[in-house]
Amino acid sequence: MTAGRHAIVSGGGSGLGAAIAKALLQQGARVTVLGRQAAALEAVLAGDPQGQALVADVTERSGLDDALDRAAKTFGPPEIVVANAGAADSAPFDKVDRAHWDQMLAVNLTGVFNLFQATLPALRQAGWGRMIAVASTAGLKGYAYVAPYCAAKHGTVGLVRALAAETARDGVTVNAVCPGFAETPMLDRSIANIAKTTGRSEEEARQALLRTNPQGRFVQPEEVADAVLWLCGEHASAFTGQALSLSGGEVTP
């Protein structure tokens, strides 16, 4: 169901977004990767003619709309939309300032809203579409010291459920994938920050995060990409409005 279809992947320059973009390319999709660093985006595509890299910030709607217009001119209207762009930062709740709060919501929630709202008309017109938000187990439970991030990811899950109800008769499914701690550059930054703020070594911080997963390991980006491919498949058309936990049993909604 992905071969020949135009897929948009935001935050496609590294981590989960890069793995998802590569998996879609391998399945024959035409893939537009969006992000803020052109060199990183181009490296993910590795010269594949079925891919294109466009610089765009999902928090800036006008620039995003321009990038999506350019993407459609090359590969046609989008049919698969993966809202993956995100960021995480930590602080005790009483130390969170308004700038931190606004930044976490802008990237992790408003960015999903912007991308989904900009692309939904094309999916509805086609009568077929897959909209997938890369959320987090932080959208299904609470974690200490990341209240703004948790709030944004909970909002993303709520947005997915509401939009799925609106599009249920349009041939468009809307879902979230919610990984636990995944082996990505974002995880490396989180471990470094934990070590810096707690005085523990990075290895001690890593082990503390590993213990949150009952399988005793971090989720791999390719596992998240496989879940996205399944959601795009022909047998997933009844699966909508869901938040799929990929967490080794940490969260079982």
Whether 38 shows a pLDDT value over 70: the answer reads: yes
pLDDT, residue 193, reads: 79
**194 inside domain:** no
**107 inside domain:** yes
**156 inside domain:** yes
pLDDT, residue 253, reads: 66
**188 inside domain:** no
Can you tell me the mean pLDDT for 134-161? 97
**88 inside domain:** yes
pLDDT, residue 36, reads: 96
Can you tell me the mean pLDDT for 156-185? 96
pLDDT, residue 139, reads: 98
Highest-pLDDT range among 185-194, 195-204, 232-241: 232-241
**132 inside domain:** yes
Say what percent of the chain tops pLDDT 90.
87
Q: How far apart are CA 132 and CA 176, in angstroms?
A: 5
pLDDT, residue 164, reads: 98
Model confidence at 188, in pLDDT bands (50, 70, 90)?
confident
**HSE of 162 in the Cβ direction (CA atoms, 13 Å)?**
9
DSSP secondary structure string, 120-166?
Answer: HHHHHHHT-EEEEEE--GGGTS--TT-HHHHHHHHHHHHHHHHHHHH
Is the model more confident about 194 or about 87? 87
pLDDT, residue 208, reads: 87
What are the tens digits of pLDDT across the range 190-222?
Answer: 888 777 877 889 898 889 889 999 999 999 999
Model-level pTM? Answer: 0.95
**187 inside domain:** no
Domain hosting residue 63, numbered range: 6-180+220-246
Whether 24 shows a pLDDT value over 80: the answer reads: yes
Domain count, the chain: 1
Residue 145 is among the residues annotated as catalytic for this protein: no
Whether 1 shows a pLDDT value over 80: the answer reads: no
- List the catalytic residue out of 75, 113, 116, 149: 149
**198 inside domain:** no
Helices 111-126/147-167 angle, 10° precision: 20
What are the tens digits of pLDDT across the range 101-133?
Answer: 999 999 999 999 999 999 999 999 999 999 999
Q: Which of 217, 213, 216 is nearest to 245 (CA)?
A: 213
CATH number of domain containing 162: 3.40.50.720
Whether 235 shows a pLDDT value over 80: the answer reads: yes
